[in-house]
Amino acid sequence: MKGWIRRREATCAEVAQVLQRYLDGQVDDLTARRVRRHLDHCRRCGLELETYQAIKVALARRGERVDPEAVERLRAFGERLAERGLGEDSGSSA
């Protein structure tokens, strides 16, 4: 469910809670936006994100053969989320 962040800046703790899901693309657009905004000015969480990404890549490598394209796609996913702009807070009043 959404709602862990309301109309305020996310805290480091909140970002940490959803960071993995954020990387997996399992958070809604609004949450992704909050995370992204926080990462924008919080170097610490940015490093955390990089760590998670590195872990994901490492895990993928350890498994079966992984299409490098898939890894790259995964890595680019978060960036795409940010660049897309994500419109406004759609569906916030429904």
Contact residues: Zn ion, CB under 5 A: 12, 42, 45
For Zn ion, the closer of residues 12 and 55 by Cβ is 12
By CB neighbour count within 10 A (0-12 exposed, 13-18 middle, 19+ buried), where does 27 fall? buried
For Zn ion, the closer of residues 12 and 59 by Cβ is 12
Q: DSSP letter at 7? A: S
Least Cβ distance, residue 70 to Zn ion (angstroms): 28
Is residue 45 a contact partner of residue 38, using CB atoms and an 8 Å limit?
Answer: yes
Least Cβ distance, residue 12 to Zn ion (angstroms): 3
